[in-house]
Chains A and B, each alone.
Chain A
Amino acid sequence: MTSVLEIDKLFVSFATPDGAVEAVTGVSLSVEAGECLGLVGESGSGKSQTFMAAMGLLADNGTATGHIRLDGINLLSATEKQLNKVRGERIAMIFQDPMTSLTPHMKIGRQLSEVLIEHQGADKETGRRRALEMLDRVHIPEAERRLDMYPHELSGGLRQRVMIAMALMCEPEVIIADEPTTALDVTVQAQILDLLTEVKDNLGAAIVLITHDLGVVAGLADRVAVMYAGRIVEQGTVGDIFATPTHPYTQGLLACTPRLDVETEELVTIAGQPPNLQNLPTGCSFHPRCPHVFDQCKAQRPSLEKMPGGQARACFHAAMGAAE
């Protein structure tokens, strides 16, 4: 299979009064049709900004360099007009906070149908019919009635379903879900994840799932990329990452996730703080928090190396272990 979305050596930096801050440093990723890529990392690791760049939605002080190709179109060099043809139609995004992500003064139906009207020149009637169809598809009860409601009349879970329905309006090739469950109640989270799984299975779209929650990734993703301080530190199939994590950061993240099958007294944490992007440690950005740190880690930055099984990681310690 060929990848629908390809990110090649992406750099994203933000101009701040204290100088430029590099949020994404040389990230390369790709997603195939029908595949779900989980992108995992702490806040500030650059996982969201990577795909904000793809959508052309970086803040005004942000600049992106590198290549992001969607079916041959380089999104980074596209004009606003070209981007608008792609956004919503071929690549759609579901945001973290459904409570504030819908326009408060517009009815749900209109917010949904305008996507179809804008991209496919549909008339209002067709747009509304399609909106209804999509609300049904994301299992919103009494969909017909909801079309004429305002966002504040719906619960957070329903609003996130509306956001998903909105993303599905034009059946895009790529759906980016940026922390789609973070702002929701735990029970609602599970429902939304089920829905995303359903979308993935039925639509054949490529899904990028951005999250800090490994539990979410385990249920939905086929492949996982772990980001730390703007770089990908480990990448592989979901099975490999969970069974044989090689990077100490990934191991730490997994250890932090409470498991039902292992009895523990305390919750494990990764020692230390995420690094300040303006003042990154020398060598490997993770070395001040790494339990396996040695001299080379402080002096040199490990590059992302592919291992025979397809798993890749950027870690000297893991490389030594493999060599032994």
Chain B
Amino acid sequence: MWAYFTRRLFIAIPTLWVVITVAFFLMRLAPGGPFDQEAPLPPEIMANLKAAYGLDQPLWWQYVNYLGNLLQGDFGPSFKYKDFSVTELIGQGFPVSIQNGAAALFLAVLVGIPLGAMAALRQNSGADHAAMTVAMTGIVIPNFVVGPLLALVFGIWLRETMFALPVAGWNNGALPNRILPVICLALPFIAYIARITRASLIETLRTNYVRTARAKGLPFRMVVLRHAFKSAMIPVVTYLGPATVFLLTGSMVIETIFGLPGIGRYFVQGALNRDYTLVMGVTILAASLVIFLNLLVDMAYAWLDPKVRYE
């Protein structure tokens, strides 16, 4: 198992290299550059700027240089946020995003799975329909609607009560400031996880081995927890891999609505500004997370289903 784990980590290196290469050249294919403005800069200044950032060099040389710096852990300077290196920007923003994302993930799993399981066990009852309606609502209402709604309720309507919550700002990670963004971030994931859990558990409860477990005279609770639950979690785990990457790398919408200094906005702003190094930085971060979480998901499969064994 550990040999497999290490081998997968080694395979990750060429994968990352491909991602870096494709991202690097795709970014350069986009028209415009990091120093384009509405009022064009005088050609001499532009030339100086380009020379300062090494953009006057041939593209392949820039690429080789970038890779060389990367190997030394240097992601380069940001073109737009002057005086900041990409490492600094990500170093400041990522902890915020990862904390919110992890809390949202935790909440989504903690609420989504029991909600879906409850719906499955009371299939077609009022509780089932209610839970699934709520879940469907959570999926169809976009978070740029839910965010302001939460702000309206907890920031304005409940302003004078004990339930009032700050609607913007990070405030050095004070707990009240985190509540609304985490809820807003988690809602659609709670909904998806609940729906997947429900469908999967219903299917598992119809299997022959669950029938065998019931024929043994085990209490139903034990049949579900011991014989059905593990298999039912396989689709949920499959979903959790990419969902976790999405949550941990921050959401631009949520971070903008709630004024959080995360990295979600860098993905969009970096690309719009042609901030080449910043885009590369967040791309590498996201790609690494995808690779790592896929590995974790594969490990989880082996635990959930003994037929899956890696050597």
Q: Which residues of A contact B (CB under 8 A)?
A: 55-57, 80-81, 83-89, 92-93, 95, 97, 100-106, 114-115, 118-119, 150, 152, 163, 166
Contact = CB atoms under 8 A, between A and B. Distances in A.
Given A103-B212, A150-B307, A114 B218 contact: yes
Contacts of A102: 209, 212
A95 B212 CA distance: 8
Given A95-B211, A102-B209, A119 B307 contact: no
15 contacts: A84-B219, A88-B215, A88-B216, A95-B211, A95-B215, A100-B207, A100-B209, A103-B213, A105-B230, A105-B304, A105-B306, A115-B217, A163-B212, A166-B212, A166-B216
Interface string B206-246: 01111111111111101000110011000000000000000
Contact of B215 (A81, A92, A104): A92
Contacts of A163: 212
Nearest to A93: B215
Given A95-B215, A101-B209, A103-B209, 19 more contacts: A57-B214, A57-B215, A84-B217, A86-B217, A87-B214, A88-B217, A92-B215, A92-B216, A93-B215, A95-B211, A97-B208, A102-B209, A103-B213, A103-B227, A105-B231, A114-B216, A114-B218, A115-B216, A152-B306
A101 B211 contact: yes
B209 A83 contact: no
A119 B219 CA distance: 11
Contacts of A93: 215
A57 B213 CA distance: 11
A28 B217 CA distance: 25
Given A105-B230, A106-B227, A150-B307, A118 B211 contact: no
A87 B217 contact: yes
Contacts of A55: 215
Nearest to B307: A152
A166 B209 CA distance: 13
A118 B220 contact: no
Given A88-B217, A152-B307, A106 B212 contact: no
Q: Which DSSP category, helix, strand, loop or mixed, fits chain B's interface?
A: helix
A85 B219 CA distance: 9
Nearest to B123: A60
Contacts of B214: 56-57, 87
A104 B306 contact: yes
A92 B307 CA distance: 28
Contacts of A56: 214
A103 B208 CA distance: 9
A132 B97 CA distance: 53
A105 B218 CA distance: 17
Nearest 7 CB-CB pairings of A with B: A88-B217, A87-B217, A88-B216, A150-B306, A100-B208, A84-B217, A103-B209
Nearest to A176: B215
B307 A104 contact: yes
B74 interface: no
Contacts of B213: 103
Contacts of A115: 216-217
Nearest to A85: B217
A104 B217 contact: no
A119 B209 contact: no
Nearest to B205: A60
B305 interface: yes
A290 B214 CA distance: 40
A101 B212 contact: yes
A87 B216 CA distance: 6
A84 B218 contact: yes
A235 to B, nearest CB: 26
Given A150-B306, A152-B307, A101 B216 contact: no
